[in-house]
Structure formats: structure tokens, C-alpha cells
Amino acid sequence: LSPAFARSRKAEAGLVCHATAADVAAAFDAAMAWDAPAEVRAAVLNRTADLLEAREGEILALLAREAGKTLGDAISELRAAVDFLRYYAGEAPALQAPARGIFAGISPWNFPLAIFTGQVAAALAAGNAVLAKPAGQTPLIAHLAVTLLHEAGVPRAALQFLPGDGRSVGAALTADPRVKGVAFTGSTATALGIRKSLSLHAPEAVLIAETGGLNAMIVDSTALPEQ
């Protein structure tokens, strides 16, 4: 290897193969709701939280390399992901409604572990199958989260990973009549596009959208500067 090639390889955080529309269709074909008892689902989500905590160093390093997180931000993000898993694990046994079926999770780049994990954990806790599409900028940390969820006991047919951009993978997920719900965090414009697609192709699907997060903050003289 030439020195220049070796340096370029060292700079890479990883390699990603994007899913295609055919991959999305195959994922829908293979998806199966997680019909294990709620107590089993809860135990698996708690076990995933344990695995995340056990892999803290690796996760913090990947958040820094791929997402540009500072150490403090990365620690907070890992804690939030663990909190999501434990929260939904605690809620699972109390659920009364049946699973909806196949849920699509479409998560953002700015919280690539916490929001990704929260979307997936919520849908899995309710017994759904999940097709998870991370942000195009941060697929590696999301893939690690999926790997740990599978290691903890989530069936592969209940959780499938589909990296790619919104125009191909995201659009295919929200245009398939088999999707029963979408959890999305991102821009308002994209959420409106998802809503339109669902109305045309999957009108019974629910849309949970967190959008428009560029809010104003007013700070007065009583605020603590260190916060």
C-alpha cells in the first residue's frame, strides 16, 4: 500500500453499503412482529441497555469519529439511549393494545444513537417489527446499536437495518402499503412529505413526527452561566 492510501484508510470510520429499493421490499417480506411475551421483550431491552453500558468506550469513540461528538455530548447521548431502553422496557408489561405490525423508524444525524435507539425500543416494546433507517451521515453507530439489540435477543425478523438516504430508502419505507406506522425525527418539510406518502399508500398507518427543533431560547440574568 502506498503511504497516501494507508493514511486515507486510517481516516475512515467504516464502510457502508446502502440499501436499495429491492432491499426494502425484501425487508418488508421478511418482517415479523415480535410476539414474545411483554416480560421477555422487556428483559431483552434491559439486556441491550447493559450491553451499551459495557461497550461505553467503543461507543464514545465511534460517536466522536462518525458524528463529531465531544466527549461530554457522547456520554450524554449514551445515557439517553440507555434511559430509552430501560423506560420502554418498564412500560412494555403494562401495554394493553396489540402490536400494529411493521413500524419504520427514520432517525436524525444530530442524536444518532439516542433517538435511533428510542424509536426502535418503543416500537419493539409494543411487539412490532421494525425497519430502521438511520441518518445517511451516521449509519455506523446505528448499526452498532442494532447489533447489540440482536445480541441481546431481538429476533432478526423483528428488527432490520436499512441504511441509505431519504430519497430512496426513506421514500420506499413510507410508500409501502404494509407499513403500519412511522416514527420520524427531522425537518417539518420531510414530515409533511411522509404524511402525504402515507395518505396515498398506507392511510391506516400512524405517523409520530418530531420536527421543527430550531427553537428560540431566552436567557435572563438569573440563569447559571455554567448551565
Asked if 68 contacts 115 with a C-beta cutoff of 8 angstroms, the reply is no
pLDDT of residue 227: 76
Q: Which long-range contacts (CB under 8 A, 24 or more apart) does 184-190 make?
A: 184/106, 184/208, 184/209, 184/210, 184/211, 185/106, 185/107, 185/108, 185/111, 185/115, 185/119, 185/209, 185/210, 185/211, 186/106, 186/108, 186/210, 186/211, 187/211, 187/212, 188/212, 190/166
pLDDT of residue 2: 52
pLDDT of residue 7: 54
- Compute, in degrees rounded to 10, the torsion defined by CA atoms 97, 98, 104, 107: 40
pLDDT tens track, the chain, 227 positions: 455 544 555 568 889 999 999 999 999 999 999 999 999 999 999 999 999 999 999 999 999 999 999 999 999 999 999 999 999 999 999 999 999 999 999 999 999 999 999 999 999 999 999 999 999 999 999 999 999 999 999 999 999 999 998 888 999 999 999 999 999 999 999 999 999 999 999 999 999 999 986 678 888 999 988 87
How many C-beta neighbours within 10 Å does residue 220 have?
A: 5
Residue found under cell 481516516: 11
Q: What DSSP assignment string belongs to 82-97?
A: HHHHHHHHHHGGG--S
pLDDT of residue 212: 80
Query: Residue 37 — φ and ψ, nearest 5°?
Result: -55, 150
pLDDT of residue 198: 97
pLDDT of residue 151: 98
Task: Tell me the β-bridge partners of 179.
Answer: 102
How many angstroms separate the Cα of 33 from the Cα of each of 30, 46, 57, 122? 10, 19, 33, 13
pLDDT of residue 12: 80
How many C-beta neighbours within 10 Å does residue 96 have?
A: 4
- Residue ranges with strand state E in 7-123: 102-106
pLDDT of residue 10: 59
pLDDT of residue 1: 43
